């Protein structure tokens, strides 16, 4: 900082929309302040100093009054990198949110001791690192493929290969690991960084060791919420160093402030874990594209099945598709669920063909059984009239936990000890559907003496040995099997496809294909209770026609991803006022709703991509205006969620609840 530079622009770490802009402060003599430093500054509205990040330095100000001085330098480290700040502003503009909210997602909580130790050890100048002279060859991909995927400002849909192979350590790993590792090697060999964003802990366990095997030990940096907070902050600081890094992490890793970014790889972008649950609710897919446009970096969407958004972009020519030239996809047989009196069928709710194949496969290795739901039974129906039953307290779905004799509500948790059918008055109910616990009980009866392994969110299993066992797993929690599974049984197909969700097809295809990819090359998969085009697509492994048809239907219905949406919820007076202002500004296709919700109403505005910037800018202005005018008699806020299709599902659920009520 030059002697003349005595003014800092500070972005306050606040949740108040009206303060979502930089403020000028004087820098006192002797303060070590740089762009990105964390400081404390006075605010008229607060008795105590507020924290904020320095986002700019200058020697002049447009403020006509007297400037306040920075009260304290909390950290002289440039925690908020300029590129991160620019990205946060772009995301806030797109999502109609606050820049400070994005910064809070991008920078993990500070740990003083960790930062002090890092500052003592960080080299003043970048140290020379060994560069691999021989890069790994990957079957099915030419040398030109890697350059294409990592070209400046490039956008690629990477179709990952199926099956697995034995690595140098003698472990069976999916072939997709070799593809991602080779991308990382290519970026590092060019002296650049790569960010790999995965949806879940299972993906972290899958890709971390192959990356470390392919690169020098200290190049790979993990960034995810399951790390100890101090370790996560240390790894964030490592990204600030002027050295190439390969960052592997969950959705917040997309903000990693790495040096000389080559590209961002988003794995399985259709996974719901890529949707941020905190305001302003950005999706990893959109953040990666924004970062690519701002920094000129590549964006790679890697998956076994492309999402509908990526499918649409490929059709438009906005994204280039790259697929392996060879295929090791195992055979998949769709079969309808056969209900009969045979001992082989009824207890395990399996078609006889799949049951016989599973028995044969268990002679040589493990068999995977994928189920849709957790718990014992995900629903309750009357034993006499067979009508579905709902909670009498909140109208939520009832379930039977752990084989209990009384149903309880999935939403409010209340146990209905005096259950009686509201339609016919009968006092006996039947469990409806099969959760993982009920499946375990049924499978155990059908395969006596076979070891059972449970894998779900509460029982994490990363790998199982190549020995006979039945692995019962919920979608997304399937462990690896040494040498691959001998058979995979995909249950609950009809339930997955028929649920009231706009993303049912997309999510189901991704879940099925992820399980199929764990098969040994000579293994066989069985899809139960599904027919028609989805079954044919799963059987052939050609999903593009089905996905393109879905995109075309969405376009005709003006549904995402062909249009953009914004959900507005809150007190009726606030929502209606915001809706009127939005309609007056123009740019909308239409407005769905209102639908009554707890505490007010919800509406959904639909608008085109061409009008997106205009609509979100107006939404942001409405939000800031309401924040300024809000008083104690009206404490509720307007909640704005942009481009989240789950809001359409919520609208449907709320409509159903209103009818039930």
Q: How confident is the model over 215-254, as pLDDT tens digits? A: 987 899 999 999 999 999 999 999 999 999 999 999 999 9
- β-sheet bridge partners, residue 39: 52, 73
Q: What pLDDT is recorded for position 462?
A: 92
Is 129 among the domain residues?
Answer: no
Q: What pLDDT is recorded for position 93?
A: 97
Q: Which domain holds residue 49?
A: 1-80
The answer on pLDDT for 258 being more than 80 is yes
Tell me the mean pLDDT in the region 164-180: 90
Which CATH number covers residue 55? Answer: 3.40.1440
Residue 148: exposed, middle, or buried by beta-carbon count in 10 A (0-12, 13-18, 19+)? middle
Tell me the mean pLDDT in the region 61-70: 87
Average per-residue pLDDT for the chain? 88
Residues 167 and 290 in one domain: yes
Residues 521 and 581 in one domain: no
Q: Give the pLDDT band of residue 79 (cuts 50, 70, 90).
A: very high
Is 134 among the domain residues?
Answer: no
Which CATH number covers residue 593? Answer: 3.30.70
- Decide: 543 and 580 in contact? Cβ < 8 Å: no
From residue 608, alpha-carbon distances to 148, 285, 405, 649 in Å are 30, 18, 51, 20
The answer on pLDDT for 519 being more than 70 is yes
DSSP state of 260: S
Contacts 24+ apart (CB under 8 A), 569-572: 569/597, 569/600, 569/601, 569/602, 569/603, 569/638, 569/639, 569/641, 570/599, 570/600, 570/601, 570/636, 570/637, 570/638, 570/639, 571/599, 571/600, 571/601, 571/634, 571/636, 572/600, 572/601
Q: What pLDDT is recorded for position 335?
A: 82
Task: Tell me the per-residue pLDDT of 281-316, one tens digit each, with 9 for 90 and over.
Answer: 999 999 999 999 999 999 999 999 999 999 999 999
- Domain end position, chosen among 322, 346, 375: 322
Residues 517 and 604 in one domain: no
Q: What pLDDT is recorded for position 196?
A: 98
Tell me the mean pLDDT in the region 336-353: 54
Judged by average pLDDT, the poorest of 434-438, 459-463, 471-475, 589-593 is 434-438
Is 113 among the domain residues?
Answer: no
Residues 250 and 318 in one domain: yes
Residues 441 and 500 in one domain: yes
Residue 30, Ramachandran bin (φ over 0: left; ψ between -120 and 50: alpha; else beta): left
| CA proximity to 571, closest of 596, 605, 593, 590 | 596
Q: What pLDDT is recorded for position 397?
A: 73
Q: What pLDDT is recorded for position 339?
A: 44
Residues 289 and 353 in one domain: no
Residues 518 and 629 in one domain: no
Q: Give the pLDDT band of residue 549 (cuts 50, 70, 90).
A: very high
Is 138 among the domain residues?
Answer: no
Residues 286 and 194 in one domain: yes
Domain count, the chain: 4
Q: What pLDDT is recorded for position 375?
A: 57
Q: What pLDDT is recorded for position 379?
A: 66
Comparing 646 with 12, the larger pLDDT belongs to 12
Task: Tell me the per-residue pLDDT of 378-395, one tens digit each, with 9 for 90 and over.
Answer: 567 777 776 778 887 777
Residues 539 and 570 in one domain: no
The answer on pLDDT for 343 being more than 50 is no
Q: Give the pLDDT band of residue 336 (cuts 50, 70, 90).
A: low
Reported in sequence order, the residue ranges of 304-438 that DSSP labels E, i.e. its strands, are: 320-322, 331-335, 366-371, 379-382, 398-399, 408-409, 429-432
Is 398 among the domain residues?
Answer: yes
Q: Give the pLDDT band of residue 657 (cuts 50, 70, 90).
A: very low
The answer on pLDDT for 596 being more than 70 is yes
The answer on pLDDT for 347 being more than 60 is no
Q: What pLDDT is recorded for position 414?
A: 82
Residues 374 and 504 in one domain: yes
Residue 334, SS3 per DSSP: strand
Tell me the mean pLDDT in the region 29-35: 92
Residues 372 and 417 in one domain: yes
d(CA 194, CA 211): 12
Tell me the mean pLDDT in the region 140-169: 93
Judged by average pLDDT, the poorest of 160-174, 230-244, 472-486 is 160-174
Q: What pLDDT is recorded for position 495?
A: 83
Q: What pLDDT is recorded for position 611?
A: 96
Q: What pLDDT is recorded for position 161?
A: 95
Beta pairing class for 72-75 and 38-41: antiparallel
d(CA 469, CA 31): 64
Q: What pLDDT is recorded for position 458?
A: 86
Residues 160 and 246 in one domain: yes
Is 137 among the domain residues?
Answer: no
- Domain end position, chosen among 554, 586, 614: 554
Q: What pLDDT is recorded for position 248?
A: 98
Is 372 among the domain residues?
Answer: yes
Is 108 among the domain residues?
Answer: no
Q: What pLDDT is recorded for position 64?
A: 79
| CA proximity to 51, closest of 80, 29, 84 | 80
DSSP state of 471: E
Judged by average pLDDT, the poorest of 114-118, 250-254, 406-410, 534-538 is 406-410
Residue 453 CB partners (closer than 8 Å, separation 6+): 366, 461, 464, 469, 470, 471, 472, 479
From residue 42, alpha-carbon distances to 10, 410, 484, 514, 628 in Å are 11, 46, 60, 52, 20
- Domain end position, chosen among 322, 357, 381: 322
- β-sheet bridge partners, residue 485: 519
The dihedral sign for the CA sequence 638, 639, 645, 647: negative
């Amino acid at each position: 900082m030059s002697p003349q530079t005595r003014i800092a622009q500070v972005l306050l770490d606040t949740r108040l929309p009206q303060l979502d802009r930089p403020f000028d402060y004087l820098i006192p003599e002797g303060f070590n302040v740089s762009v990105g430093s964390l400081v404390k500054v006075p605010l008229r509205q607060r008795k105590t100093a507020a924290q904020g990040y320095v986002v700019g330095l200058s020697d002049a100000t447009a403020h006509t009054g007297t400037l306040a001085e920075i009260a304290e330098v909390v950290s002289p480290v440039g925690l908020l990198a300029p590129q991160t700040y620019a990205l946060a502003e772009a995301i806030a503009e797109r999502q109609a949110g606050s820049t400070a909210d994005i910064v809070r997602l991008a920078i993990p909580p500070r740990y003083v001791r960790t930062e002090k130790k890092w500052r003592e050890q960080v080299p003043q100048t970048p140290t020379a690192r060994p560069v691999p002279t021989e890069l790994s060859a990957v079957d099915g991909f030419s040398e030109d493929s890697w350059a294409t995927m990592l070209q400046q400002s490039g956008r690629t849909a990477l179709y990952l290969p199926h099956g697995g192979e034995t690595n140098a350590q003698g472990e069976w790993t999916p072939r997709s690991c070799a593809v991602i590792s080779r991308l990382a090697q290519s970026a590092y060999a060019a002296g650049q960084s790569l960010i790999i964003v995965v949806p879940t802990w299972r993906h972290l366990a899958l890709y971390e060791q192959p990356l470390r095997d392919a690169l020098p030990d200290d190049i790979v940096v993990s960034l995810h919420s399951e790390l100890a907070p101090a370790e996560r902050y240390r790894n964030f600081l490592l990204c600030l160093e002027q050295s190439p890094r390969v960052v592997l992490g969950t959705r917040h890793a997309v903000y990693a402030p790495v040096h000389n970014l080559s590209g961002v790889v988003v794995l399985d972008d259709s996974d719901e874990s890529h949707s941020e649950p905190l305001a302003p609710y950005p999706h990893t897919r959109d953040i990666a594209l924004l970062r690519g446009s701002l920094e000129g970096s590549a964006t790679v969407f890697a998956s076994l099945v492309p999402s509908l958004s990526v499918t649409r972009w490929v059709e438009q020519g906005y994204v280039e598709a790259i697929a392996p030239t060879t295929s090791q996809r195992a055979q998949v047989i769709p079969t309808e669920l056969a209900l009969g009196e045979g001992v082989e069928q009824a207890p395990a709710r399996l078609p006889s063909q799949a049951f016989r194949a599973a028995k044969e496969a268990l002679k040589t290795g493990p068999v995977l059984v994928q189920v849709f739901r957790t718990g014992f039974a995900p629903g309750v129906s009357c034993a006499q009239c067979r009508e579905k039953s709902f909670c009498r307290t909140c109208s939520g779905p009832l379930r039977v936990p752990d084989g209990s004799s009384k149903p309880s509500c999935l939403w409010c948790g209340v146990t209905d000890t005096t259950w009686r059918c509201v339609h016919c008055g009968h006092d006996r109910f039947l469990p409806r559907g099969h959760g993982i616990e009920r499946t375990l009980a049924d499978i155990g009866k059908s395969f006596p003496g076979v070891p059972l392994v449970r894998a779900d969110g509460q029982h994490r299993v990363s790998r199982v040995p190549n020995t006979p066992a039945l692995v019962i797993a919920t979608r997304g929690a399937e462990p690896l099997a040494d040498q691959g599974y001998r058979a995979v049984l995909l249950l609950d197909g009809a339930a997955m496809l028929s649920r009231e969700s706009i993303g049912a097809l997309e999510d189901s295809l991704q879940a099925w294909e992820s399980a199929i990819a764990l098969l040994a090359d000579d293994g066989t998969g069985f899809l139960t209770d599904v027919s028609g085009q989805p079954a044919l697509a799963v059987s052939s492994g050609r999903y593009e026609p089905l996905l393109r048809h879905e995109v075309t239907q969405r376009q005709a219905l003006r549904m995402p991803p062909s249009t953009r949406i914004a959900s507005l919820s809150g007190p009726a007076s606030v929502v209606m006022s915001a809706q009127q202002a939005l309609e007056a500004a123009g740019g909308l296709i239409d407005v769905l709703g209102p639908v009554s919700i707890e505490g007010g109403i919800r509406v959904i505005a639909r608008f085109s991509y061409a009008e997106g910037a205009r609509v979100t800018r107006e939404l942001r202005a409405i939000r800031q205006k309401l924040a300024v005018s809000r008083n104690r008699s009206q404490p509720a806020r307007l909640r704005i969620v942009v481009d989240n299709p789950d809001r359409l599902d919520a609208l449907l659920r709320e409509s159903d609840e209103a009818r039930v009520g």
